[in-house]
């Protein structure tokens, strides 16, 4: 039976559309089925990190997103008296991904930029109002039944990716359960349009006040966000009422400075799917994991899934790699996910304390730890890849390869392009690398390496001699076998 496409993606959110673009840029034929007619309009992501921006760069959307994003040097956790408990500093500085550490955004604008980029891809298309209803798989592919405005339709693809959000019908139909990481708190989220920015806080804030835990953060240009924890006995209907929201905003004295644009009630959760691949069906983004938003990592994690999956699927479909390369997806990504969720849950538990005694104990503990310099300060770091398609044991294997800018402002990825890179010390003065030679040489010095092979998702495959690295990379793709360095 003929294939209608190589990869069918369920869901046209940020994960699905990014994956579609990254696949299409590698020549893969993709259909994205999105059940809604338009982009999801309610408040969600407000923050994207440097690594997420780098992935958007490859997806052709970073410049548009950056143009309307904003930055602040501080993310502060304050107690009810305004004292600093925890501070992430320098979040506006350039970070390893070649973009500032924290960029405050408006998610629908990010999704619009991604869809504009997708529209220019020859081998991928997004179909609004197409719902995947059922699917079955066999050894060669997946057959899905969809409902579309033109009536029922069947699509045959080599792989199906469920990027269909937290409720993920694909995950449900595949019979994949969640590991629940035991965090569940209801919050009201309010986005406002800003008329007078001088009246708003210039830093991102978590107000750890047991009387009403509150978040106040920047968004993209012209917007600001408040989030309020919902107390026992308060209903979603009550807290969503504009008059009630005005009482919540009253302490901020912003009555004439902002207008409510949109609001939503969410239950913040922490969960990871137990299996991210079942045969020819893979899960990505919120379909595979959900995190409370305190670390601003949900969408960023979905983008990392897309970057990890795209080159692997493209290599398998293009015949350059064996299908078992896809088995490295979950072992590589899940530990990173657990670390981001642990960080968010730590922040969430800190913020969501509602007992006065609990808050007193927390404040004492954090203020002491801060005074002793025992708390993180700069932007959070998440763990490297420790197992999977890497040359375990070689210095730097699995670490995130930085993206330097050359003195003229050009970024490394734009200069070197798609695919894996073999960067050897002996080649640094060639035209391909010379503009970046000092930073590349510094990386090789740090790892005492002659050469590095950087994977297409910009994680380090391994270090060693150029000839050996090239041979081991080919062997890793074809055989899925990786010997220790």
Ligand X SMILES: Cc1cc2nc3c(=O)[nH]c(=O)nc-3n(C[C@H](O)[C@H](O)[C@H](O)COP(=O)(O)OP(=O)(O)OC[C@H]3O[C@@H](n4cnc5c(N)ncnc54)[C@H](O)[C@@H]3O)c2cc1C
Binding site for ligand X (CB under 6 A): 10-16, 33-36, 40, 43-48, 107, 131-132, 163-165, 169, 189, 266, 285-286, 293, 296-300, 302
Q: What residues form DSSP beta bridges with 454?
A: 421, 460
Question: At its nearest, how many Å lie between ligand X and the CB of residue 129?
Answer: 9
Query: Residues 162, 168: contact at Cβ < 8 Å?
Result: yes
d(C-alpha 409, C-alpha 425), whole Å: 22
Q: Contact at 8 Å (CB) between 45 and 189?
A: no
Give CA–CA dist 162/177, Å, rounded: 14
Q: Are 435 and 415 in contact (CB under 8 A)?
A: yes
Nearer to ligand X, 273 or 477 (CB): 273
Nearest CB to ligand X, comparing residues 13 and 462: 13
**Comparison of 163 and 254: residue with beta carbon closer to ligand X:** 163
Smallest gap from Cβ 193 to ligand X, in A, equals 17
- Closest distance to ligand X from the beta carbon of 136 (Å): 15
Helix (H, G, I), strand (E, B) or coil at 71: coil
SS3 category, 121: coil
Given the complex with ligand X, which of 204 and 353 has the nearer CB atom? Answer: 204
Tokens of 212: 């009403």
Q: Which long-range contacts (CB under 8 A, 24 or more apart) does 242-245 make?
A: 245/188, 245/190
- Closer Cβ to ligand X, 301 or 394, answer by number: 301
In 74-209, DSSP assigns E strands to 74-79, 84-89, 102-104, 124-128, 131-137, 142-148, 151-162, 178-194, 204-208
Measured from the CB atom, is 272 or 449 closer to ligand X?
Answer: 272
Name residues whose C-beta falls within 8 Å of residue 223's C-beta, 6 or more positions apart in sequence: 106, 191, 192, 193, 194, 261
Structural tokens at position 220 = 């993209």
Q: 60 vs 165, which CB is nearer to ligand X?
A: 165
Residue 345 CB, nearest distance to ligand X (Å)?
Answer: 15
What minimum distance in Å lies between the beta carbon of 306 and ligand X? 9
CB of 300 to ligand X, least distance (A): 4
- Rounded to a whole number of angstroms, the minimum distance from the CB of residue 72 to ligand X is 13
């Amino acid at each position: 039976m003929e294939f209608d496409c190589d990869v069918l993606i369920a869901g046209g959110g940020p994960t699905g559309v990014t994956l579609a673009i990254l696949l299409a840029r590698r020549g893969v034929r993709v259909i994205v089925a999105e059940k809604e007619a338009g982009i999801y309009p309610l408040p969600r992501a407000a923050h994207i990190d440097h690594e997420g921006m780098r992935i958007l760069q490859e997806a052709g959307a970073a410049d548009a997103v950056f143009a309307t994003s904003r930055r602040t040097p501080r993310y502060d956790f304050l107690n009810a008296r305004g004292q600093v408990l925890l501070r992430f500093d320098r979040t506006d500085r350039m970070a390893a991904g070649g973009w500032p550490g924290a960029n405050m955004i408006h998610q629908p604008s990010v999704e619009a930029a991604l869809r504009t980029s997708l529209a220019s891809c020859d081998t991928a298309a997004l179909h609004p109002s197409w719902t995947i209803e059922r699917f079955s798989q066999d050894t060669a592919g997946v057959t899905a039944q969809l409902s579309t405005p033109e009536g029922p339709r069947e699509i045959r693809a080599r792989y199906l990716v469920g990027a269909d959000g937290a409720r993920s019908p694909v995950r449900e139909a595949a019979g994949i359960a969640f590991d629940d990481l035991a965090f569940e708190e209801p919050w009201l989220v309010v986005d406002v349009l800003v008329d007078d920015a001088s009246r708003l806080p210039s830093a991102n804030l978590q107000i750890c006040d047991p009387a009403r835990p509150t978040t106040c953060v920047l968004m993209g240009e012209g917007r600001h966000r408040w989030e309020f924890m919902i107390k026992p006995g308060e209903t979603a209907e009550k807290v969503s009422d504009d008059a009630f929201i005005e009482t919540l905003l009253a302490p901020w004295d912003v009555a004439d400075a902002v207008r409510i644009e949109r609001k939503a009630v969410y239950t913040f959760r922490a969960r990871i799917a137990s299996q991210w691949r079942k045969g020819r069906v893979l899960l990505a983004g919120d379909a595979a994991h959900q995190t409370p938003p305190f670390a601003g990592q949900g969408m960023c994690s979905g983008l990392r899934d897309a970057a990890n999956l795209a080159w692997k699927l493209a290599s398998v479909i293009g015949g350059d790699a064996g299908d078992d390369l896809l088995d490295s997806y979950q072992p590589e990504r899940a530990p990173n996910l657990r670390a981001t969720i642990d960080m968010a849950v730590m922040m969430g538990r800190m913020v969501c304390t509602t007992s006065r005694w609990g808050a007193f104990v927390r404040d004492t503990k954090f203020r002491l730890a801060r005074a002793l310099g025992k708390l993180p300060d700069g932007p959070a770091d998440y763990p490297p890849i420790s197992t999977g398609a890497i040359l375990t044991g070689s210095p730097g294997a699995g670490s995130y390869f930085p993206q330097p800018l050359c003195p003229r402002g050009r970024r490394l990825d734009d200069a070197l392009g798609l695919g894996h890179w073999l960067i050897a010390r002996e080649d640094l003065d060639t035209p391909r690398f010379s503009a970046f030679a000092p930073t590349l040489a510094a990386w090789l010095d740090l790892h005492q390496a002659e050469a590095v092979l950087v994977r297409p998702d910009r994680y380090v495959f391994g270090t060693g001699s150029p000839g050996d690295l090239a041979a081991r990379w080919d062997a890793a793709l074809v055989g899925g076998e990786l010997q220790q360095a």
